[in-house]
Amino acid sequence: MVSYETLQVDRRRFLALTGLTLSEFQRLLTAFPRAYQRDYPARQTAEGQPRRRSLGGGRKGFLHRPEDQLLFILVYLKTYPLQAVMGELFGLSQPQVNHWIHRLLPVLQEALDELGVCPERSAGHFARSPATAGVEPRLIIDGTERRRQRPKGPEKQALHYSGKKKTHTDKNVVIVTLPRERVDFLSRTCVGKMHDKKIADTEGIVYPPEAILYKDTGFQGYEPAVQETRQPKKKAAPRRAHRG
């Protein structure tokens, strides 16, 4: 089974499964238990009823420690496996996995908010976010895709099928601020078939007017109100000499 105690000694495996370094995980762990206590006070049961016996009584579950709870939800978000697979990894039944996913997702969101590391989700507020403060902010916009389970219906299958990735995906547009190299804007989640530029157009992102925006060919023709947009150009193919 996967646990924090065994996984922390292998830093490469830890990063691969959680998407965080050990130091980043430990920083997040400082806020995670506080968020958990706010959502699920010790004086109440899991159903929100007043607790009749002292906390800690009864059989200990596998995810009773904050570090294992945080590890569980990060592994789920990073790898997005079937719930049955998560059960095998963490020694839980599928209904228990479902319970913990829905229990811990809001807790993780609150912990990230407390640390101030959540990206902006409002396209209209991005220009006023602290991340873009500066004389000439440099921004990189890009599309990201992650695999998902293939939908059952043919129509949904077609919508989520990404020709670029050759699989079914969900897609977001992100904006990274330089030189911090941190995602400071995250768009809504779209189907994998949707083009990067179309997502950016429909989001209506408001940029600081003095910003320099770097983009790739997926945003060809995307020219928001910024100081300058920069897009790399493909090198022309070498011309072949004609044989006489």
pLDDT digits (tens, 9 = 90+) for 6-19: 999 999 999 999 99
Tokens of 81: 């496996």
The Cβ of residue 125 has, within 10 Å, a number of other Cβ atoms equal to: 12
The Cα 16–Cα 27 span in angstroms is 18
What pLDDT was estimated at residue 141? 97
Q: Are strands 228-230 and 212-214 parallel, antiparallel or unpaired?
A: parallel
The Cα 47–Cα 206 span in angstroms is 42
pLDDT higher at 236 or 173: 173
Please check the confidence at residue 47 and state whether its pLDDT lies above 70.
no
What pLDDT was estimated at residue 51? 61
Please state the φ and ψ torsions of residue 24, each to the nearest 5 degrees: -65, -40
What pLDDT was estimated at residue 55? 55
| Averaged confidence pLDDT in the chain | 88
Percent of the chain's residues with pLDDT above 90: 68
The Cα 188–Cα 172 span in angstroms is 6
Rounded to a whole number, what is the distance in angstroms from the first to the last CA of the chain? Answer: 70
Judged on CB neighbours under 10 Å (0-12, 13-18, 19+), 230 is exposed
Please check the confidence at residue 92 and state whether its pLDDT lies above 70.
yes
**Is the Cβ–Cβ distance between 167 and 149 less than 8 Å?**
no
What pLDDT was estimated at residue 128? 87
Q: Please choose, from the candidates 81, 78, 79, the residue with its C-alpha nearest in 3D space to the C-alpha of residue 97.
A: 81
Please check the confidence at residue 68 and state whether its pLDDT lies above 80.
yes
Give the mean model confidence (pLDDT) for residues 134-146: 89
Rg (CA), the chain: 22
What pLDDT was estimated at residue 145? 93
- Taking only the tens place, the pLDDT of each residue in 159-218 is 999 988 899 999 999 999 988 888 999 999 999 999 999 999 999 999 999 999 999 999
Please check the confidence at residue 58 and state whether its pLDDT lies above 60.
no
Give the mean model confidence (pLDDT) for residues 121-146: 87
Q: 56: alpha, beta or left, given left = phi > 0 and alpha = psi -120 to 50?
A: left
